[in-house]
Amino acid sequence: MNVLIVYAHPEPKSFNGAMKDLAIETLTAAGHDVVVSDLYAMGFNPVAGPDDFVGEASNPEFFSLATEQTKACEDGTIAPDIAAEMEKLKRADLVIFQFPVWWFGLPAILKGWADRVFARGFAYMPGKKYDTGMFNGKRAMVVTTTGTSADTYAPDGIDGDILTVLWPVHNGLLRYSGFEVLKPFVAYMPGRVGADGRKTYLDSYKKRLGELEATPRLFFHPREDYGTDERLKPGVLARSGVQRNV
């Protein structure tokens, strides 16, 4: 299996770094081919804009990111740094997103990576989303750390259910583009659980990496559960993420 780890943490000696290193070691030992995009080490530019393209603009008078992405994907005129990441994604059977939760979301460098690499024409198009997404057949898993406890991220916790916090990533990025999304692995406040707690997290993560085929998939409603207005049909019980019946 070809595995891409997209890693976003500025400190190599962080717990995120330890988890990334463990994943490389464990997956390689199991015979998988592992590639890492270490965004901070690469100095990856997270700012989407006109410099993402090397060809003539569709409309020199008005810049539309989606329009220019579509044209560049068709013409092969996407910037080299983006094209390199796209090639990694094309080869990957499994993508692991390794990052700390910052302000209830992705670090800016990883969000910018998604803005630039999950380009229109490459990651999605009209009619090529969700069940028919362009990355259909690939799997993805979020591996993350938090600064507060599991209790704060419980369904009744002050920070909200961790799956709700991660919904923009799980549904808005991964499922939207067709991935089969595995249950996330979350290490809650590793900086405050002591050496034994961190070892327990690493042992659990190593076990997860050895059982990827058995890892539960997150549930997303299939297309047939939605009406033409793209809302759940009457009588369909909302079961995924932040959706609810009204």
Averaged pLDDT for residues 13-18 = 97
For the chain, which residues make up each domain, given as ranges?
2-218
What local confidence, expressed as pLDDT, does residue 199 receive? Answer: 97
CATH superfamily, region 2-218: Flavodoxin domain (3.40.50.360)
Residue 124 has pLDDT above 90, yes or no: yes
Kindly report whether the global pTM for this prediction surpasses the value 0.75: yes
| Terminal alpha carbon distance of the chain | 42
Residue 16 has pLDDT above 90, yes or no: yes
Residue 180 has pLDDT above 90, yes or no: yes
Sign, Cα dihedral of 8, 12, 15, 18 = positive
pLDDT digits (tens, 9 = 90+) for 40-84: 999 999 999 999 999 889 999 999 999 999 999 999 999 999 999
